[in-house]
Amino acid sequence: MLVLVAPGQGAQTPGFLTPWLDLPGAEDRLRAWSAAIDLDLVHYGTRADADEIRDTAVAQPLLVAASLLAARELFPTPEDLTRQVGAVAGHSVGELAATALSGVLDDTAAMHLVRRRGLAMAEAAAVTETGMSALLGGEPDVVLPHLERLGLTPANVNGAGQIVAAGTAEQLAALAEDKPEGTRKVVPLKVAGAFHTHHMAPAVTSLREAVAALTVTDPHTAYVSNADGEVVSGGKEVVDRLVGQVASPVRWDLCMTTFQSLGASALIELVPGGTLVGLAKRAMRGVPTLALKTPEDLDAARTLIAETAGPAE
């Protein structure tokens, strides 16, 4: 069974979409989404510098667009995806791509929603100087109490020895000086706020208003939720979870456990791939993985799909 996953914020790098726009129809698709959400995704994906694409209001739509662009190259129709993919998921903002890939929202609706999400979270992040740092290594029963003592939130529990802490700049500075026993390294992330914490509460209100007008359908492919790693079968519940998730921790560790319980035999991470494949290599040992970075990776992805695709029995 093939699992298709979309990366979260921080995966973007300057110019990462440049080679993708050489594919037939890719630039037209990106420009159509740009017009729909009033954001020049072509500019931000090809010419913008690191500071420009670090902006939450830019990074989030850009990442979802990139994942959808690559997915539509691999699976041109919903029927192709349903026939060849057993489960979909996304890490944090990647969940918005997963909603479109699973058929809960159409691509344009997902782009509108992620634009609203990015703006709302950027506004919430501007209230207080906050951020996120990844802790590499260490045992959860040691790391989690340590974060609590510092007033930090375990915003992403990613498995494979990685927990992401979120909080104020002062709290993160204290963490850098006093890391938990057994933690090898504390790495600041390229994000502009303490996502998936109480600092994002104002964004929940904004998103709740945004989803009220959406037309949703039930997923045609198993959708695995960040909230608890559960497969969600109702479209309305998928969207409701997206709203609350901006202020709740991401449990990617539980998502990977679910992938395995569903019978995952391969995992492909959409553009800009790498982070989630790295986690899967450590937590899902023996499962073949592939990270889509450039169009040169498409042939290898198609080969992996042909060898392993299909829903779980």
Domain span(s) for CATH 3.40.366.10 in the chain: 2-125+198-308
How high is the pLDDT of residue 105? 98
Q: 152: Cβ–Cβ under 8 A, 6 or more apart, which residues?
A: 165, 166, 167, 171, 172, 175
Report the predicted TM-score, pTM, of the whole model to 2 decimal places. 0.94
Active-site residue, selected from the candidate residues 34, 92, 133, 265: 92
How high is the pLDDT of residue 191? 82
Q: What is the largest CA-CA distance in the chain?
A: 53
- In sequence order, the β-bridge partners of residue 153 are 166
Closest CA relative to residue 294, chosen from 273, 276, 277, 278: 273
Q: Alpha carbon of 180 to those of 142, 170, 190: distances in Å?
A: 7, 17, 22
Q: Alpha carbon of 34 to those of 92, 106, 286: distances in Å?
A: 21, 15, 39
Tell me, yes or no, if 196 is annotated catalytic. Answer: yes
CATH of domain 130-188: 3.30.70.250
Q: What is the mean pLDDT of the chain?
A: 95
How high is the pLDDT of residue 310? 59
As a three-state string, the secondary structure of 76-97 is CCHHHHHHHCCEEEECCCHHHH
Give the pair of three-digit tokens for residue 109.
Answer: 């609706």
* Phi, psi (degrees; rounded to nearest 5) at 11: -80, -15
Q: Which residues of 113-149 are buried (b: 16+ CB within 10 A; e: fewer)?
A: bbbbbbbbbbebbeeeebbbbbbeebeeeebbebbee
Please state which architecture CATH assigns to domain 2-125+198-308.
3-Layer(aba) Sandwich (3.40)
Domain span(s) for CATH 3.30.70.250 in the chain: 130-188
List pLDDT tens digits, range 133-178: 999 998 999 999 999 999 999 999 999 889 999 999 999 999 999 9
Per-residue pLDDT of the chain (313 residues; tens, 9 = 90+): 999 999 999 899 999 999 999 999 999 999 999 999 999 999 999 999 999 999 999 999 999 999 999 999 999 999 999 999 999 999 999 999 999 999 999 999 999 999 999 999 999 999 999 999 999 998 999 999 999 999 999 999 999 889 999 999 999 999 999 999 999 999 998 788 999 999 999 999 999 999 998 999 999 999 999 999 999 999 999 999 999 999 999 999 999 999 999 999 999 999 999 999 999 999 999 999 999 999 999 999 999 999 986 555 4
How high is the pLDDT of residue 311? 58
Active-site residue, selected from the candidate residues 196, 199, 225, 265: 196
Closest CA relative to residue 246, chosen from 106, 63, 104, 124: 124
